[in-house]
Amino acid sequence: MNSEVIITCAVTGAGDTANKHPDLPITPTAIAAACVEAADAGAAVVHIHVRDPETGQGSRNTAYYQEVVEQVRGSDRDVILNLTCGMGGDLYVNDVDPRQMDPGSDMVNALTRLQHVEVLRPEICTLDCGTMNFGDENLLTVHTPNMLRTMAQRIRDLGIKPELEVFDTGHLWFAKQMHAGGLIADPPMFQLCLGIPYGAPATTQSMQHMVSQLPAGAVWAGFGISRMQMPMVAQAILLGGHVRVGLEDNLYLQRGVLASNGQLVEKAVSIIHALGARPLSAPEARLKLGLPAAG
């Protein structure tokens, strides 16, 4: 069991959830406010996507990221910023002619996916470690080995810590290969992302199996989506890991009751305390993750 737990809050994501929650953070100002709310509730790390303020859809616009980052950094909250680099790999395959990309596809090269990180230099950014079927229709999230090696090398050159997001065991296999090959600095940081169709399911057996394959000295967290968010908080702690909550992964505090990011963090804090553990502050999390102290 882990007695000192880092809480990450993923405050908005990029999924089609804007029409499912009236208070989902969409504008840069709302996303920044959600980061502050999460930090006040006990999150040491905030995981940030941005959205188009007009449509509510996920965006790669560096200007939106800059607004969010500047507002969070301009607050008096000490919180670790973790920017997604998962955008730019969405491929909707045409049923009739699979050589065509259907509307909604967004495919860019490896370094373009890092353009906001190049400008803003967060402490952490994500690296989704493999391609997968995403959902029940024709969407693939595309992250090829060549793309990932290119991104990993550039992230290392920038002195930023990658959070290795693994959605299935093959992703974990490849992430370990990058670490063994020197593309990922010690200690490697893994996020076990469970419950997304069709990656690894959000079950005790699935999380335990993935944890058993982590390299020695790795720092890891795990999460489940939807109703499995809080059960996987408890499971990750019991297996020795850290946790992630937030509206990216789950919109509800309990059945039929919409949540805020702060409420989800508070619920995670209560689980941590109930298990006899404690949440870490941002300075403590930096030590655990091998990050430099805040300047």
> What pLDDT score does 58 carry?
96
For residues 66-87, one letter each, b for 16 or more C-beta atoms within 10 angstroms of the residue's C-beta and e for the rest, the string is ebbbebbeeeebebbbbbbbbb
> What pLDDT score does 292 carry?
92
List strand residue ranges (DSSP E) for the chain, in order: 4-5, 7-10, 45-48, 50-51, 58-59, 80-83, 89-92, 106-107, 124-128, 132-133, 139-141, 161-166, 189-194, 219-224, 242-245, 252-254, 257-258, 278-279
3-state secondary structure of 278: strand
> What pLDDT score does 135 carry?
85
> What pLDDT score does 136 carry?
86
Distance CA 100, CA 97 (A): 6
Peptide bond into 187 cis (omega under 30): yes
Task: Taking the CA atoms of 36, 271, 49 and 144 in sequence, report the sign of the dihedral they define.
Answer: positive
Prediction pTM value = 0.96
- CATH 3.20.20.70 holds for 4-289: yes
Instruction: Give the pLDDT confidence of 150-170 residue by residue, as tens digits.
Output: 999 999 999 999 999 999 999
> What pLDDT score does 293 carry?
86
Low-confidence ranges of the chain (pLDDT < 70): 295
> What pLDDT score does 49 carry?
98
> What pLDDT score does 294 carry?
81
Task: Centre a 10 Å sphere on the Cβ of residue 157 and count the other Cβ atoms it contains.
Answer: 8
> What pLDDT score does 131 carry?
97
